[in-house]
Amino acid sequence: MSQPTSLPVIDLSAPDRDALHRAARDVGFFQLVGHGVTAAEQSRLLSTARDFFAMPEADRLALDNLNSPHFRGYTRIGNEHTQGRRDWRDQLDISNELPARVPAPGEPPYWWLEGPNQWPTALPELREVSLEWMGRLSTVAHRLLHELLAAVGGPEDFYDAAFSGHPRNHLKLVRYPGRAPQGDDQGVGVHKDYGFLTLLLTDEVPGLQVETPDGQGFIDVPNLPGAFVVNLGELLEVATNGYLKATNHRVVSPPGSRERYSAPFFYNPRLDARIAPLPFPGASDADGVTQDPDNPLFAEFGWNELKGWVRAHPTVVRKHHPELTIA
């Protein structure tokens, strides 16, 4: 199979299910247009993100995720890790606004991931803009997931129950502040996402790269104004027994001191949702989920999610959860 040099473009306002099927099966990434989210809405989110990162460092550090046993809040540059190496970016992690949950004896420790966010008092609009954005993109992702399941020949509402109650939706506001002083260009290292779908909004500064299907290289993803970059997560690989694959990707830091801003939204089910196999015609052609001893995949979403957070934020684990280890 020839290797792609760009990502497919899918129009959600008039979806071509054959094209969506091919994009999901062959690449695992695509550009999404026709989603109904306006340029003004997109600009408002990125502008608010820039306002947050322009705040004095002391105000940002007041929201340090070390304050949160729920892994919420601000992560300073270099304090998140991918594959054991520091990512040269800072970010604010936001999820459903819920009361703090402490797992009862015998309950899975992934319930620590439910809890309140940390918000800056000097930028009160951040809360409103972020939570509205999460609700807006949840609606887009819900429709897209229905189209995707139908495109591969499955029941489009098959996973609706898994998203009932309090689905684990998650928004990151991210700044890549140029190259690290030592010249390392790892904005975020090679990884796959944990859940079902990721919808990424970014500015015009390049940096995102997607692994080619043969695993031998990466392609650059240019900015397509108004589009979301969509990728499939590990749970869709589990759901389809490997027929659809989660795809490796990374972000290369912009050169010099040029900054890059992005806002990935992760559309995920409830933490305790166990993902049953999707019934679809291609199931007989599936070749099984990726077997990687360094990255086990779990059908119960909470374990997949917790695995990622424990690896990415070792300082939070040492402070709040020293008993937590994930193979």
Vertex 231 angle, CA 225 and 237, to 5° = 170
Q: How many CB atoms lie within 10 A of CB 45?
A: 23
Using alpha carbons, list the distances in angstroms from residue 229 to 25, 74, 110, 265. Answer: 16, 24, 28, 10
pLDDT above 90: residue 259: yes
CA–CA distance, 296 with 307 (Å, rounded to integer): 9
pTM: 0.94
CA–CA distance, 220 with 206 (Å, rounded to integer): 8
Least confident of 225-234, 258-267, 279-288, 315-324: 279-288
Residue 172: band (very low, low, confident or very high) from pLDDT cuts 50, 70, 90: very high
Beta bridge partners of 64: 74
Cα torsion angle, 194, 252, 3, 143, sign: positive
pLDDT above 60: residue 215: yes
Residue 3: band (very low, low, confident or very high) from pLDDT cuts 50, 70, 90: low
CA–CA distance, 259 with 256 (Å, rounded to integer): 9
Q: CATH fold of 9-324, please? A: Jelly Rolls (2.60.120)
Q: What is the pLDDT of residue 63?
A: 98
- 95-116 per-position pLDDT tens digit: 999 999 999 999 999 999 999 9
- Note the Cα 215 to chain centre separation in Å: 21
CA–CA distance, 175 with 134 (Å, rounded to integer): 19
Q: What is the pLDDT of residue 154?
A: 97
pLDDT above 70: residue 183: no
Domain boundaries defined on the chain: 9-324
Burial label for 216, CB within 10 Å (0-12, 13-18, 19+), is: exposed
- Mean pLDDT calculated for residue range 143-157: 98
